[in-house]
Every structure is written in structure tokens, then in C-alpha cells.
């Protein structure tokens, strides 16, 4: 069964069901067939979270299953402190999990795909960020 994370741009973070889904997966339980949802508070935040460097990290985590953040940094050929910052941002939004592996943190992805939805009005956008905005 494909695990999908549905993502919308909203007025405040809404991680409805995300923590419960992650806990069920960790416990080896069947997960609710209703998809998990993540609401991102602004278009600027959406652009920051889904910038190319973060998408590269997500892809590398899925493809290579690194045992630690340091190994992930080697895979993407970036400095570990930068990767650590990006990984923690992704974890804060529930896009990855960090599993304790001794002294290391192992990044994992629990879903197979994203589904983006919602309307983005062209007025009242949060444009205070210099982060690039993903289409």
C-alpha cells in the first residue's frame, strides 16, 4: 500500500493524524487508510521547506537509507552542519523521522509520495522570506 502525505498551504500548521500514523508505523501496526495531512502556514514557508536542497536530502534518504546525518551529508556532498540544520527542519515538519542509532540520528522517510493541493491566492501572500518558492 502506498503511503501518501497530503500537503496544503494553510493559515497554521495542521499535522492532523501525522504523529499517530508515525507511532503506528513504528509499532508495526497497520496504518489508517485515510492519508496523513500537513498544512504549511505560508507560501514562503512552503518554498523554504521544499527548496531543491531539501528535496535532494529527501531523495537521498529514500534512495540510500543513510545510517546517520553525517553519512547523508557525505552522500549529498555537503557540510554536516548545513545538512543537520536542513534535516531538523524537515523533521520539525514531520517530513522525516530521526531514529536514535547509538550516538547517531538515522533519518527515515515513512511515506512514498507527496500530494499537493489547495488554492494559493495571489493577494495577501507572505513574501517576507527570501527563500525561493516552489511551483
Number of domains composing the chain: 1
Task: List, in sequence order, every residue forming a beta bridge with 99; answer none if it has no partner.
Answer: 106
Instruction: Examine residue 22 and state whether it is found in any structural domain, yes or no.
Output: yes
65 part of a folded domain: yes
- Give the domain CATH number at 78: 1.10.10.10
Per-residue pLDDT reduced to its tens digit, 82-112 = 999 999 999 999 899 999 989 999 999 988 8
CA-closest candidate to residue 76, choices 106, 99, 95, 54: 54
Q: What is the pLDDT of residue 23?
A: 76
For the chain, the distance separating the N- and C-terminal CA atoms, rounded to the nearest angstrom, is 28
pLDDT given for residue 32 in this prediction: 56
Neighbours of 26 (CB within 10 A): 12
Q: Is residue 130 part of a domain?
A: no
Q: What is the pLDDT of residue 135?
A: 38
Q: How many residues does the chain have?
A: 135
pLDDT for position 15: 59
Enclosing domain of residue 50: 4-117
Query: What residues of the chain score a pLDDT lower than 50?
Result: 13, 34, 129-135
67 found inside a domain:
yes
Per DSSP (E only), the strands in the chain are 4-9, 36-40, 97-101, 104-108, 113-117
Give the pLDDT of residue 132: 42
Amino acid at each position: 500500500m502506498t503511503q501518501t502525505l497530503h500537503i496544503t498551504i494553510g493559515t497554521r500548521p495542521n499535522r492532523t493524524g501525522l504523529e499517530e500514523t508515525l507511532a503506528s508505523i513504528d509499532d508495526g501496526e497497520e496504518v489508517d487508510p485515510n492519508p496523513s495531512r500537513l498544512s504549511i502556514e505560508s507560501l514562503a514557508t512552503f518554498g523554504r521547506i521544499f527548496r531543491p536542497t531539501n528535496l535532494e536530502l529527501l531523495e537521498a534518504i529514500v534512495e540510500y537509507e543513510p545510517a546517520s546525518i553525517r553519512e547523508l551529508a557525505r552522500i549529498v556532498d555537503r557540510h554536516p552542519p548545513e545538512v543537520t540544520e536542513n534535516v531538523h527542519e524537515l523533521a520539525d515538519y514531520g517530513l522525516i523521522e530521526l531514529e536514535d542509532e547509538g550516538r547517531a540520528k538515522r533519518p527515515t522517510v515513512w511515506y512514498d509520495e507527496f500530494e499537493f493541493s489547495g488554492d494559493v491566492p495571489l493577494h495577501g501572500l507572505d513574501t517576507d522570506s527570501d527563500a525561493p518558492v516552489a511551483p
